[in-house]
Chain A
Amino acid sequence: RKEVEQDPGPFNVPEGATVAFNCTYSNSASQSFFWYRQDCRKEPKLLMSVYSSGNEDGRFTAQLNRASQYISLLIRDSKLSDSATYLCVVNKGNTGKLIFGQGTTLQVKP
């Protein structure tokens, strides 16, 4: 079983749609959590950190449920520019050793 699991998709949605991605992690020692975005043949870029209280940045909302070891990302009012692969990332024990999910691909269509 992988330490971080994501539905690879692809998710194909129309512009303006709301889409949600889920991620589960297996190691309860995991301390900090992130969503990264990766465009085709580019480097991962930090989208947002994820906190237990939930956090929002514009159209993006991230949630963490430590009891269920579950992380989510909600994107509202999808834009064409949101098309990318979204990586769920866990910082194991806050050591800096990042564990990546395989990524969820989003394609927003006109």
Chain B
Amino acid sequence: EAGVTQFPSHSVIEKGQTVTLRCDPISGHDNLYWYRRVMGKEIKFLLHFVKESKQDESGMPNNRFLAERTGGTYSTLKVQPAELEDSGVYFCASSQATDQPQHFGDGTRLSIL
């Protein structure tokens, strides 16, 4: 069984540019989550999809972040325009149900210059 895959693994962009991260969850997992780890801090929740619907987006930092999951399969997280404080590692995870363990992708390491 393929795990959660994320693309790209690394992205380096300049402040003010746009970046789109992609996540492919484990096949059959309706629940998809985005998390972020900023340097020196713990991993923090961003949002949660159930199929194509946003169940909880309470962790999204501001309106420069837009997440979508059209068709309930893969998800994208777009940052526009990127700011320096957006640098960090963005993890995607999926699970069959909300009370089940989540499986994480390798993450996207985002650097804003």
The 8 A CB mask of B74-113 against A (1 = contact, 0 = none) is 0000000000000000010101001101111111000000
A95 within 8 A of B: yes
Residue of B nearest to A44 (CB): B104
In angstroms, Cα B45 to Cα A51, docked, is: 23
Residue from the list B44, B45, B56, B104 in contact with A43, Cβ < 8 A: B104
A50 CB to closest chain B CB (Å) equals: 11
Residue of A nearest to B98 (CB): A96
Determine whether the beta carbon of A46 is less than 8 Å from that of B103. Answer: yes
User: Which chain B residues lie closer than 8 Å to A44 at the CB level?
Assistant: 43, 91, 104
A to B CB contacts below 8 Å, 9 in the list: A32-B99, A34-B101, A43-B106, A45-B104, A95-B55, A96-B48, A98-B35, A99-B45, A100-B43
Interface residues, chain B, with chain A CB atoms under 8 Å away:
31, 33, 35, 41-45, 48, 55-56, 58-59, 91, 93, 95, 98-99, 101-107
